[in-house]
């Protein structure tokens, strides 16, 4: 366990260095970017070590895994982010531990999250997940709404009791015009964010960038990067 702790500390330091360098290169202040560590497939013991090492934000993508893990870490002050594709029948469970749902991609999901949040007496932050490969019509392969659907979903979140509209999120697409062009993809997300902020000035969160492309996200203007592999190691292939 001490060995794991040392390994996580070393990985965190390296990621911190990457974020700091990317901020410096972009002329941004380090505190403009929040690190969210994606802990999916890794045990609650790792989450607890991360919390002890100063991590404040963790993310999960499957409710079945996240719910028990969050319960096992209830003694720590952590913000839990949900970043996976989410069915409406899981809204109640997710709202019981998540502070932020980054993957809201349809109005119906916002409605379900709102009902669950009201019932739980909680306020849940929501980001609209944008699928940049849905631009030519099709739905995003990794979840997300087409860019032209963002205003409607954002308005629904903003109007919903129990929800707070935080901003936008994306995963760099594997297909479409932005495939392999992370920087351009994240710049497109910034345009979508600017348009959103014109209507909802407080919705200024931009979640973009993962282990392989966090520098591109910081350069484009992301406020949150979601890093898994670079902190915890390469995930087991299944799941």
Ligand X SMILES: *Cc1c(COP(=O)(O)O)cnc(C)c1O
Reduce the DSSP state of residue 56 to 3 states and report it. coil
85 binds ligand X (CB under 6 A): no
Site for ligand X in 195-214 (CB under 6 A): 210-212
The answer to whether 47 and 8 are in contact (CB under 8 A) is no
- Least Cβ distance, residue 145 to ligand X (angstroms): 14
128 binds ligand X (CB under 6 A): no
Residue with CB nearest ligand X? 228
**CB-facing half-sphere around the CA of 169: CA atoms within 13 A:** 28
- Least Cβ distance, residue 143 to ligand X (angstroms): 8
**CB-facing half-sphere around the CA of 212: CA atoms within 13 A:** 6
Sign of the dihedral through C-alpha 118, 120, 123, 128: negative
Residue number, 88 or 211, with CB nearest to ligand X:
211
59, β-bridge pairs? 38, 81
Cα 85 from Cα 143, distance rounded (Å): 6
The answer to whether 134 and 145 are in contact (CB under 8 A) is yes
Choose, by CB under 6 A, the member of 69, 90, 106, 226 that binds ligand X: 226
Cα 137 from Cα 133, distance rounded (Å): 8
Cα 110 from Cα 95, distance rounded (Å): 12
- Least Cβ distance, residue 38 to ligand X (angstroms): 4
Binding flags for ligand X, 147-186, as an x/- string (CB under 6 A): ------------------------x---------------
50 binds ligand X (CB under 6 A): no
- Least Cβ distance, residue 121 to ligand X (angstroms): 28
The 8-class DSSP code of residue 145 comes to B
The answer to whether 110 and 153 are in contact (CB under 8 A) is yes
Site for ligand X in 26-45 (CB under 6 A): 38, 40
Binding-site size for ligand X (CB under 6 A) equals 13
83 binds ligand X (CB under 6 A): yes
- Least Cβ distance, residue 9 to ligand X (angstroms): 18
64 binds ligand X (CB under 6 A): no
Residue number, 106 or 226, with CB nearest to ligand X:
226
Joined together, the tokens standing for residue 146 give 């087409």
Provide the binding-site residues for ligand X, judged by CB under 6 A. Answer: 38, 40, 61, 83, 171, 210-212, 226-230
């Amino acid at each position: 366990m001490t060995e794991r702790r040392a390994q996580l500390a070393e990985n965190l330091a390296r990621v911190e260095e990457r974020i700091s360098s990317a901020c410096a290169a972009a002329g941004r202040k380090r505190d403009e970017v929040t690190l969210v560590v994606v802990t999916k497939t890794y045990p609650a013991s790792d989450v607890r070590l991360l919390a002890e090492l100063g991590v404040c934000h963790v993310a999960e993508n499957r409710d079945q895994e996240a719910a028990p893990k969050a319960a096992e870490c209830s003694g720590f002050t952590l913000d839990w982010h949900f970043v996976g594709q989410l069915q409406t029948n899981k809204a109640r469970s997710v709202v019981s531990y998540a502070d932020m749902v980054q993957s809201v991609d349809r109005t119906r999901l916002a409605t379900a999250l709102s009902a669950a949040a009201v019932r739980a007496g909680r306020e849940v932050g929501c980001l609209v997940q944008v699928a940049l490969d849905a631009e030519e019509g099709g739905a995003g392969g990794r979840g997300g709404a087409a860019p032209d659907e963002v205003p409607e979903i954002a308005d629904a979140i903003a109007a919903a009791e129990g929800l707070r509209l935080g901003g936008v999120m994306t995963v760099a697409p594997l297909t479409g015009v932005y495939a392999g062009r992370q920087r351009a993809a994240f710049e497109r997300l910034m345009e979508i964010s600017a348009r959103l902020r014109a209507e909802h000035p407080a919705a200024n969160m931009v979640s973009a960038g993962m282990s392989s492309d966090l520098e591109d996200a910081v350069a484009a203007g992301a406020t949150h990067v979601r890093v898994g592999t670079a902190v915890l190691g390469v995930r087991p292939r299944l799941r």
